[in-house]
Structure 1
Amino acid sequence: MREKAIKDVEIIDMSYPNISIGKIDDEKTVQFKGGVLGQNVRVKITKNRGKNKKGKFMEVLEESKIENSKEFCPHAGICGGCSYQKMGYETELLLKHNMIKKLLKNAHIDVSDLSIVRSPKIKEYRNKMEYTFGDSYKDGPLVLGLHRQNRFYEIVDTDGCNIVDGDFETIRKYVQEYFRKRNASFYHKKDHTGLLRNLIVRKAMHTGEIMVILVTSSDTSFDPMRRDLFANSLLNAKTKGRIVSIYHVINDSLSDAVKVDSMELLFGKKYIEEKMNELKFQISPFSFFQPNVFTAEKIYQKAIELSSLDKNKNVLDLYSGTGTITQLFAKAANKAVGIEIVEEAVEKAFDNAKENQIENIDFIAGDVLEKIDLVKGKYDIVVLDPPREGINPKAIKKIMDIDPEEFIYISCNPKTQVRDLEIFKENGYKIKNYQVFDQFPRSRHVETIALIQKM
């Protein structure tokens, strides 16, 4: 087989979210995932047909001139997390703004007044992290951290990570040292042996409550006495917030994802409580909650401002999660109904509504594609907040058949959102307003809201 060519290229353009376009010579370009505008990088050509080739990013040869920040994470370019650590925040916002503008323009959506809302915090904003146990090199000491960029086995000790709250680092280091002292083994993905798999930390930023979830295999070395010892010991970690909940999850799945075979509450209560826009929300171990609560508050407030919400309107919230948006709309509506496929999230949505004394609300557990047929009555506003893959193509026609006055479409993936917006346009709708929010500073991602109305 002919060896694939390796080229050194300059990145001359970018497409959302992470597609770089590199110049090979005067007439040919190569597209690949990764990189930053202006960098010189090494790329392996994977598809060599025509002028526009496809490639795989290998390494940075020379940093971009826009990567001129004097303060950045010591693991920038090493761990597989942040991509924009080395540029100033204003430059990051401009880069994201331009990529979204181009995405919308290609879909023939008016972008004349497009703007991007800054995150109130660009450091220590994340309220959830999922760490992995492993080693940074073969047979090295136990490390608890994040995967090295483009590597499956190597783990980076993320000491100094600047996007997480300081308590995350305190807990991560404490747990890492705890298991190092006991010579505990980590789970080896090749032969599927070993104990330690993941550590998940969640923190309610406005209340300071912290939840810790230790994920292990069913290896018997983590016996009940040791579990008690781990939970009691962890409470000695010197955090600014309070650890109020500690779980142990057993996961024997062969995949790298966290899957729950069994779950035990080792200490405290079943959830942590967060406050957002004057409401309280209970967050359980695996329920979805926005990772940047500071920007999320702005997003939800904007969603209400864009809508024509009043006390006479009925609201249908599709992909409602734990009912955050549903409740915020219900406060100013006649009634609100949410549909969500994750049963645990629906249970928590009912608990949250009860806690907030909101009675003009209901939730339905199930797939939007199936359950939308069960929704009765007239709805004036339909809120859409689907997962990253966007709206199921089979469901989008049913959603439009509801025929509300307007749709509010919130998305964490503008690429699939724009794909769906084109379908709305083809069926007689117009995009009345579009707003970008920097929900994920230092990463490639943003959150967006579209107001959709009938022509």
Structure 2
Amino acid sequence: MRCYVDGISHSGEGVARIDGKATFIPFAIPGETVEIKVIEDKKNYQRARLQEVITASPDRVDPPCPYYFKCGGCAYQHVSYPRQLELKRQVVKDSLKRIAGIDIEVNPVIGMEDPWRYRNKVEWHTGKESGELTMGYYINDSRVLMGIDNCLLISQEMQNYSKYIKDNLQELKIPNACEVIVRQSSANQELMLIFNGPGTSQIDFARMLNYQEAASIYSVDQGATQLHYGDQSLEDAISEIKYGISPLAFFQVNPQQTERLMEVIKDFAQIDKGDNVLDAYCGIGSIALGLAGKAKRVVGVESFKSAVKDAKRNAFKNDISNCKFIKGRCEEIIPDLKEHFDVVILDPPRSGCKAQLIESIVKMAPKRVVYASCNPATLARDLAAFVKADYNLVKVQPIDMFPQTGHVECVVLITRGKE
């Protein structure tokens, strides 16, 4: 079947309209005429396999990764980087319009000079490939594991250590069906290794150290976290703020773009010396501590106990005394906070904010809300709730935190009353 691709999905798939149905076509680019085979036909949409590109986009390029068309990690390697940024901007605009009825100017996406080997964390899986134990990623839309020798999104140091582990799975006694996580500090290039899954506490860690010394090596065996070697946390930094990161803590995976993300958040927040700031979903305090120097007081709320511990340690590490961190669900803790907040920072997971949290923030009546999101769909849903409560959407700034993938980060400035 031949069709014309005229849209892009939030995950980076080309979209064509066939008999009134949206048809999703991986590896197709808007503006192309393609030959497809429908592989899934639902009531309101179809999924198709790209058979042949009849008329190619001028933005089509050869993907440099040999695993690209099987691996599910990337979605845009076949698209030139400038066009990737345009498509991600369009995804944000389309999501706001389609889901929330919001028609607002979206700034051009802030991209990278070099959109490769930017990640500071990789999560491999172990499993059987053709009967042999291997380490890699799952083939797209499957639970079939594919061994990977070189991922172009992670640093060469991370790749070298990963390759050593993959080549010595049996000798190191690494179990089947576990996660192998490698993290790297952008501040000092040190590595942290985490082996997550049943049996990982029995790995031959001493043999591993014969290859290369890591800053720390952990196992998480059926929920029990154990440090086998080195430092308790990985030391990293954003601008002038230093952070200690525990094994499973969330930390942005793109250090260079995280600096730019923080610049945008600071610019949008416009914090004065007398302002009280609330940081919802604060994690290890990366945003809260970055804003503390300009604010009177910052309160961070986070549900993960280990992240709150990290945040408190990080405040002490940086000699920051005007930050307070509270453990609990944002939608449960924040409605009961008695103090007034002038600025609220929202940086929720992909699922977005709970409705009761948005209601409590509206009642709080901050002069500014800065919302950072990695999911345009839930962002649109939540922004609609703020608009309904008579808040204004002032600026929308996408940032490419995840080049070559379908994901895009977005920061939105929301204000109360006229500005």
Q: TM-score under structure 1 normalisation? A: 0.85
Deviation, structure 1 residue 120? 4.4
Q: Show structure 1 runs of 5+ residues with no match.
A: 1-6, 188-196, 252-260
Partner of 1:148 in structure 2? 139
Partner of 1:111 in structure 2? 104
Letter of the 2:249 partner, please give it: S
Partner of 1:272 in structure 2? 234
Partner of 1:384 in structure 2? 346
Letter of the 1:305 partner, please give it: D
Deviation, structure 1 residue 351? 0.2
User: Could you say what the CA RMSD is over the residues aligned between the two structures, in angstroms?
Assistant: 2.2
State the SS of the aligned residue for 2:95: helix
User: 1:44–1:56: 8 Å Cα contact kept in structure 2?
Assistant: yes
Letter of the 1:174 partner, please give it: Y
User: 1:318–1:340: 8 Å Cα contact kept in structure 2?
Assistant: yes
Letter of the 1:91 partner, please give it: R
State the SS of the aligned residue for 2:169: helix
State the SS of the aligned residue for 2:168: helix
Partner of 1:424 in structure 2? 386
Deviation, structure 1 residue 70? 4.2
Matched, 1:373 2:365: no
Q: Deviations over 1:249-277 (max 9, x none)?
A: 213xxxxxxxxx21211111111000111
User: 1:120–1:295: 8 Å Cα contact kept in structure 2?
Assistant: no
User: 2:17–2:23: 8 Å Cα contact kept in structure 1?
Assistant: no
1:45-84 to structure 2, matched below 5 A, reads 45-48=40-43, 53-57=44-48, 59-63=49-53, 64-66=56-58, 68-70=60-62, 72-84=64-76
Higher relative contact order (CA 8 A, sep 6+): 2
Deviation, structure 1 residue 348? 0.5
Letter of the 1:82 partner, please give it: C
State the SS of the aligned residue for 1:415: helix
Partner of 2:248 in structure 1? 286
State the distance in 1 between where 2:149 and 2:80 align: 22
**Alignment equivalent of 1:248, drawn from 192, 197, 219:** 219
State the distance in 1 between where 2:235 and 2:110 align: 27
Partner of 1:41 in structure 2? 36
Q: Deviations over 1:406-439 (max 9, x none)?
A: 1001111121111111111111111011101001
User: 2:120–2:154: 8 Å Cα contact kept in structure 1?
Assistant: yes
Matched, 1:211 2:192: yes
State the distance in 2 between where 1:183 and 1:285 align: 21
1:313-324 to structure 2, matched below 5 A, reads 313-324=275-286
Partner of 1:234 in structure 2? 208
Letter of the 1:322 partner, please give it: I
Letter of the 2:82 partner, please give it: E
User: 1:126–1:292: 8 Å Cα contact kept in structure 2?
Assistant: yes
Partner of 2:364 in structure 1? 402
User: 2:275–2:341: 8 Å Cα contact kept in structure 1?
Assistant: yes
State the distance in 2 between where 1:420 and 1:66 align: 36
Deviation, structure 1 residue 54? 1.6
User: 1:146–1:156: 8 Å Cα contact kept in structure 2?
Assistant: yes
Partner of 1:157 in structure 2? 147
State the distance in 2 between where 1:207 and 1:168 align: 13
State the distance in 2 between where 1:92 and 1:40 align: 22
State the distance in 1 between where 2:107 and 2:400 align: 13
Matched, 1:167 2:157: yes
Deviation, structure 1 residue 312? 1.1
What is the number of equivalent residue pairs in this alignment?
A: 411
Q: 1:389 to 1:266 in 2, by over 3 A?
A: same
User: 1:341–1:365: 8 Å Cα contact kept in structure 2?
Assistant: yes
Letter of the 1:116 partner, please give it: V
Letter of the 2:37 partner, please give it: R
**Is the deviation greater in 78-87 or in 12-21?**
12-21
1:93-104 to structure 2, matched below 5 A, reads 93-104=85-96
Q: Deviations over 1:115-141 (max 9, x none)?
A: 11012441111111110111333x2x2
User: 1:35–1:41: 8 Å Cα contact kept in structure 2?
Assistant: no
User: 1:170–1:237: 8 Å Cα contact kept in structure 2?
Assistant: no
Q: 1:392 to 1:298 in 2, by over 3 A?
A: same
Query: Percent of aligned pairs with the same residue?
Result: 29
Letter of the 1:148 partner, please give it: I
**Alignment equivalent of 2:288, drawn from 308, 326, 339:** 326
State the distance in 1 between where 2:228 and 2:269 align: 44
Deviation, structure 1 residue 453? 0.7
Partner of 2:20 in structure 1? 28
User: 1:8–1:43: 8 Å Cα contact kept in structure 2?
Assistant: no
Q: TM-score under structure 2 normalisation? A: 0.92
State the distance in 2 between where 1:40 and 1:233 align: 52
Letter of the 1:420 partner, please give it: D
Q: Deviations over 1:47-88 (max 9, x none)?
A: 24xxxx32234x321245356324521111111100111221
Deviation, structure 1 residue 248? 1.6
User: 1:209–1:243: 8 Å Cα contact kept in structure 2?
Assistant: yes
Partner of 2:183 in structure 1? 202
Q: 1:245 to 1:184 in 2, by over 3 A?
A: closer
